[in-house]
Amino acid sequence: MAKKSRKNSAGTPATTALTAAGTPFTLHSYTHDPAAPSYGEEAAQALGVEPGRVFKTLIASVDDRLTVAIVPVSASLDLKALAAAVGGKRATMADPASAERTTGYVRGGISPLGQRKRLPTALDASADGYETVCVSAGRRGLEVELSPTDLAALTEAVVAPIARHEG
User: For the chain, how many helices (H) and strands (E)?
Assistant: 5, 10
- Predicted pLDDT at 137: 96
Contact 86, 62 (CB under 8 A): yes
Separation of alpha carbons 129 and 34, rounded Å: 31
Contact 60, 96 (CB under 8 A): no
Contact 22, 57 (CB under 8 A): no
| CA distances (Å), origin 80, targets 4, 62, 86, 88, 149 | 39, 10, 10, 9, 24
Which pTM value belongs to this model? 0.91
Contact 113, 119 (CB under 8 A): no
* pLDDT for 23 beyond 80: yes
Separation of alpha carbons 141 and 92, rounded Å: 27
Separation of alpha carbons 115 and 93, rounded Å: 18
The domains of the chain, with CATH numbers, are: 27-165 (3.90.960.10)
Contact 87, 68 (CB under 8 A): no
Q: Could you tell me the pLDDT band of residue 10, with boundaries at 50, 70 and 90? A: low
* pLDDT for 3 beyond 80: no
- Predicted pLDDT at 149: 98
Residue whose C-alpha is closest to residue 103's, from 124, 85, 78, 121: 121
Query: pLDDT tens digit string along 95-153?
Result: 999 999 999 999 889 999 999 999 999 999 999 999 999 999 999 999 999 999 999 99
